[in-house]
Amino acid sequence: MNKIVLITGASQGIGACIAETFAEKGYNVAINCRSQNEVENGGNSVAENCRSHGVEAECFIADVSNFEQCANLVKEVAERFGCIDVLVNNAGITRDGLLALMKEDQFDSVIAVNLKSVFNMMHHTAKLMIKARKGHIVNIASVAGLYGNPGQVNYSASKAGVVGITMSAAKELGARGITVNAVAPGFIETPMTAAMPEKAREAALSGIALRRGGLPKDVANAVTFLASEEASYITGQVLVVDGGMIM
């Protein structure tokens, strides 16, 4: 029987690539989208790409910063597929600005989507995994959460929080056969980074040992590894995928 993976924020970007990579490996895929609009403009084609690998795939709408919507999301996915073997907390936003100029809402919204969502999803999913006495959780952090980044006090705080919640949950859930890890991407080639001014891009790339930006697939490969049997003795870790940007 195929294993089941639930990925938040999977209608585009890194999340979509993670969904398709799990499908290639034979997992049935639950694709979380924030809205019906995202289902129609992204989610449905991600699901179709997943199904082309012979697995089942479906979109589920929820705003993961909302505790109740996460409860419903986990319930719906468990009812549809029978269980959740792997949870990937990928949904994230940026609302950059300098510390002295940042509005309260800029800080609160990034913490809600990037960090509180991880608590929401792990809280509801852990109950199922504890009952099953197995499961893998992979949270998407960022190098900004490990080393900081100017203009991103909100984002780096949220991602540092993701690292902390990952380690605490790993210590709590290890005895139940559940692993909890994080992947911290560096500079990944997505529409977000493509929109950077050429000079800023060049400066970022020149600081990377491998002299290129990462691809969504580089992140997805790390995520599927941490969810695999090959990684069953790895928990509470942060796997940095940054081409040697920071060491």
| Binding site residues, ligand NAD, CB under 6 A | 8-9, 11-15, 32, 34, 38, 63-65, 90-93, 113, 140, 142, 185, 187-188, 190, 192-193
Number of helices (H) and strands (E), helices first, in the chain?
A: 11, 7
Q: Name the helix (H) or strand (E) containing 218.
A: helix 216-226
The answer to whether 21 and 221 have CB atoms below 8 angstroms apart is yes
Rg of the chain (C-alpha set): 17
Tell me whether residue 2 or residue 49 sits nearer to ligand NAD (CB atom). Answer: 49
Tell me whether residue 26 or residue 148 sits nearer to ligand NAD (CB atom). Answer: 148
What are the strands of the beta sheet with 238-241, ordered from one edge? 57-61, 28-33, 4-7, 86-89, 135-140, 178-185, 238-241
- Helix or strand or coil: residue 146? helix
Query: Catalytic residues, which ones?
Result: 155
- Cα separation, 65 vs 117, in Å, equals 5
